[in-house]
Amino acid sequence: MNFSWRDGNQLRLLENGDQFFPRVSAAIQRAERTLLLETFILFEDDVGNALHADLLAAAQRGVKVEVMVDGYGSPDLSDHFVNRLTEAGVRFLYYDPRPLVLGMRTNVFRRLHRKIVVVDDTLAFVGGINFSDEHNTTYGAQAKQDYAVEVTGPVVLDIARYVQQAMGSEQVTRRWWGGRSQRVAVNAMPGDAQVLFVYRDNDEHRDDIEQHYLDMLRKAKHDVIIANAYFFPGYRLLREMRNAAQRGVRVRLIVQGEPDMPIVKVGAEMLYNYLVDAGVEVYEYCRRPLHGKIAVQDQHWATVGSSNLDPLSLSLNLEANLIVHDRAFNQTLRDNLEALIQRDCERVNDEKLPPRTWWHLTKSVMVFHFLRHFPAIAGWLPAHTPLLSQVEPPVQPEMETQDRVEPDNEGAKP
């Protein structure tokens, strides 16, 4: 499924759960016909329970509600929580739920990492914010810094169509000749209010999001800011960042300085010398864990979504980003990032750079290649094909259900 740039959209940047959750709640409460929701994490905390109440009320007033959560990211939802929704007619699916093996979860690869909400095919939310308390700033020191986009306009129909096919509620039309990743969709007539929906799967669109980042860096003329929570990309993206900096583009990278997982900082630090030596400005966000996956280029281009620039997101996870071409949105996101740099970041200077020794270089090269390629190698190992599991209601409503549905955006091979 290929999408094109859509004109005539309206966009709103949402920062953290403080802005995101009230907007989503209000949209669900206004829903009249359909509601689609995909998320990696849904917890039974204050945020999850509030969402549960909104979904339940929408289903009870006749809205067709479909929800899909990831089996790895949301493994502990209670039967009571889910059954109340299915009793009301909500179609509730788990993406690849797997039992524990020796106390360990085995579905760490090929995760549903998207965060999408679509209401009545007219309003959508796309970003990196999960449904959990930790995305509200009131959560405390470990509250996550993150972003989403609220969008209305023609691109919403593309998002809705994709989610319906991903959930198996709409038939996928596949080309008989197959294929792998597609060419970057070109914006033939750049202007404003233009949006492209881009996704990554394990079938025909394995590197579409990465390709848009590469294209953006190659075309940058003045300025690029990338803020990414889990930054450990492949050589191509690192090379394009260096190339852009060396031809005079101001390239700034914001990574986690106070990570939620220490290994994240260890991986990013291995790349510092390579980037800084070429003129890339690297900043560590130190106020709290950074969870955003955003970027801006020059005066028009921007992206917000769920895709990190790390091996899992670029090689295995199911991801979705919006690519935006709009001066006002670019400026809003740029102002936010500039404020983060000035207020909450520390620049990586010579004192913060790892030692330049042969041992450190050798270790970095070995670890880089192992971490960069391990998820991709794991994805090709013999393994189950991820399935969708639909939860049947305790009391079956008058609707057709399927016990198990083969996901439409996953091929026989990972």
∠ CA 13-17-22 to the nearest 5 degrees?
A: 80
- Rounded-to-integer distance, Cα 407 and Cα 385, Å: 9
Active site residue 300: no
46, 120, 207, 260: the catalytic one is 120
Give the containing element (helix H, strand E) for 161: helix 155-166
Q: How many CA atoms lie within 13 A of 253 on its CB side?
A: 31
For the chain, how are helix, strand and coil distributed in percent, rounded to 5? 35, 25, 40
Active site residue 115: yes
Q: Are 323 and 301 in contact (CB under 8 A)?
A: yes
Residue type, 255: V
205, 291, 300, 325: the catalytic one is 291
Beta bridge partners of 318: 112
- Rounded-to-integer distance, Cα 83 and Cα 81, Å: 6
- Contacts of residue 212, defined as CB under 8 A and 6 or more positions apart, other chains included, come to 184, 198, 303, 321, 323
Rounded to 10 degrees, the C-alpha dihedral 335/302/172/7 comes to 100
Active site residue 293: yes
52, 54, 113, 146: the catalytic one is 113
Q: Is residue 180 packed enough to be buried (19+ CB in 10 Å), middle (13-18) or exposed (0-12)?
A: exposed
Residue written as token pair 């990032």: 337
Q: Is the dihedral of CA 374, 377, 379, 382 positive or negative?
A: negative
Q: How many CA atoms lie within 13 A of 255 on its CB side?
A: 25
- Rounded-to-integer distance, Cα 94 and Cα 96, Å: 6
Q: Tell me how crowded residue 183 is: count the other CB atoms within 10 A of its CB.
A: 9
52, 115, 144, 300: the catalytic one is 115
Catalytic residue annotation: 113, 115, 120, 291, 293, 298
